[in-house]
Amino acid sequence: MPKPTWKTFSPAQKAALIAAGTVQTALFAAAWADLSLRPEERLNGSKTAWRAALFLNFVGPAAYLALGRKKSDWTEADIPDQSGKVVIVTGANSGLGFETARALAQRGAAVIMACRNPAKADTAAKKIQSLNPAGSVSVMALDLGNLDSVRSFVEAFKAKYNRLDLLINNAGIMVPPQGKTEQGFETQFGVNHLAHFALSAQLIDLLNATPGARVISVSSTAHRFGQMDFDDLNWKTRPYNAWQAYGQSKLANLLFIYELQRKLDAARKGTLALAAHPGYAATGLQGEGGGMQLANRLFAQTQQMGALPTLYAATAPDVRGGQYFGPSGLAELGGNPQRAMSSERSHNISDAWTLWKISEELTGTAFSV
């Protein structure tokens, strides 16, 4: 009997082979990507063994996806009592920030919704108040596109409060047309990183004076394609690319948090610096275009689920400084929160130190831990 060859296969047989190969390749790619992102403690077994198993035809990838990953079941219901705690959430009038503020207020915290548009924030605050939370919400004006507004916010906050338990650097913008902040910084780098750097610097004394305080910055999986161009952080000489600028700003969030924790440790302070990302959550951040909204409806998790990694970083008792949290599902797109791994570039100590010094110079802020 002659050995079958590609030419002797019928169209139906060829289509079946192509389909089987495509499925196998897709399973392998999905499993490999997820395994690469997952810390060892989030696996049932060793990473080395699972990498080897992925090459076993369909069986390895399917086994990994079904059995290899530890599941998280942490939800809002697991948030400890937050009574007596004072919390700042930037960008709390919508999206992830709103859900973060709501959840913390419902657990007893006094939440300050730090927002650029006080009218929208007031509407959001009334929605939370209508839920009769155990804590409280109040609105304070903060425009992260203007460092003068950051200073004014800090002065107003310190005049009213003598403690700060949680600073949640949540507000952000994503892939807008090229623009500038009031001080002339590229908008995404200025809002997503520099303003939160300045805000954290001016509040670090209150944080360090409050037992158990934490600083949380919300990053993104987009940090993985981010690169720090220290010669042109504000896109003054190179052609503007909104996605690359966004990735740079999200990488800056992580470099900042990791360096802050190193400085806190060196100064023997008890404040924790942590980071989180929401995975793929349906928020207004992706814009109002029909394509993005359709994708949100089909694939994204809810805002409430997207806020869980931030809430975990802010409240879970077992976290350690310098950790990063994200969804526990496939490729960290969705699911309940667990510890995540960030890119090798985000752990570059030299880049973190350089970014810190440049951020101090650009914002005119001395960040003394």
Return all residues near 217 (Cβ < 8 A) that are at least 6 apart. 169, 196, 253, 254, 256, 257, 273, 274, 275, 276
Convert 208-226 to b/e letters by CB count within 10 Å (16 or more is b).
bebeebbbbbbbbbbbeeb
Residues 112, 113, 118, 124: is their CA dihedral positive or negative?
Answer: negative
d(CA 256, CA 275): 10
d(CA 323, CA 314): 11
d(CA 82, CA 315): 8
Tell me the longest C-alpha to C-alpha distance in the chain. Answer: 90
- Determine how many CB atoms are found less than 10 A away from the CB of residue 269: 18
Strand 166-169's sheet: what is its strand order?
136-141, 110-115, 86-90, 166-169, 214-218, 272-276, 324-327, 337-339
Q: Which of 64, 246, 258, 324 is catalytic?
A: 246
Pairing of strands 214-218, 166-169: parallel
312 is catalytic: no
Instruction: List residues with catalytic annotation.
Output: 246
